[in-house]
A = this chain, B = another copy of it.
Amino acid sequence: MSTATARDRLIDTAQELFAARGVGATSPRAVLAASGVGQGSLYHHFPTKHDLAVAAVGATVEDALARAMHDLRGESPAVRRVVDYLERPRDALAGCRIGRHTSDQAVMDDEGLRDVVTAYFVRLLGVLTEAFREAGLPDDAAGDRAHAALAIVQGGYVLARATQDPDALTAAVRGFVGLLTQKESM
């Protein structure tokens, strides 16, 4: 296996295990075993668990941002783009692969890793705020509404897992979009 391939394979595997079990509960040894790469590759590419976690969570954040920007950066009117983002299909019962890390003490206690998670949400809030500003809201109100929109997705995931009902997320989105689109011109 080439060096580049081994590194990618380790990152892919870590992304899967972190999403399923959390960072705190996943050892580098478990990632190594599930990845099928040689032990030397792990320590060569990622001397510490922190290094592996920053790379894997960073890759998850990049994927998620690319998908979000696809919805939020289109040519449609601003509120329509936000609605597209909110209504995108999501694996509700799995939880948000990034939001879940906020309950993982191993992530929150590692400043460098926490920064990766923080950057994701700050970036999304910025783009959502920009969309609501474009829709005509003043700065403060646009920021508040951006927080509400992102909270709907994150809270919808929590409700879906809590009630073991994937429709809890879509219900929360429908409830919010109903309020949003009765007021805004699309």
- Residues of A whose CB lies within 8 Å of any CB of B are 21-22, 24-25, 95-96, 98-100, 102-105, 108, 114, 117-118, 120-122, 125, 141, 143-156, 158-159, 161-164, 168-169, 171-176, 178-180, 182-183
Find the B residue at minimum CB distance from A174: B144
Q: A147–B162 contact, CB under 8 A?
A: no
Question: What 16 new A-B contacts, CB under 8 Å, besides A102-B103, A144-B174, A179-B180?
Answer: A22-B105, A99-B162, A117-B162, A118-B164, A143-B171, A145-B178, A147-B168, A147-B171, A147-B174, A151-B155, A151-B169, A151-B172, A151-B176, A153-B155, A155-B158, A182-B183
Q: A-side binding surface: helix, strand, loop or mixed?
A: helix
Known: A24-B25, A163-B118. A95 touches B102 (CB 8 A): yes
A162 nearest CB across to chain B (Å): 4
What B residues does A99 contact at CB under 8 A? 158, 162
A113 nearest CB across to chain B (Å): 12
Q: What are some 26 contacts across the A-B interface (CB < 8 A)?
A: A96-B158, A99-B158, A99-B162, A103-B104, A108-B161, A114-B164, A121-B159, A121-B163, A125-B159, A144-B174, A145-B179, A147-B171, A148-B152, A148-B172, A148-B174, A148-B176, A151-B154, A151-B156, A151-B159, A151-B175, A152-B152, A154-B159, A155-B156, A179-B179, A179-B180, A182-B183
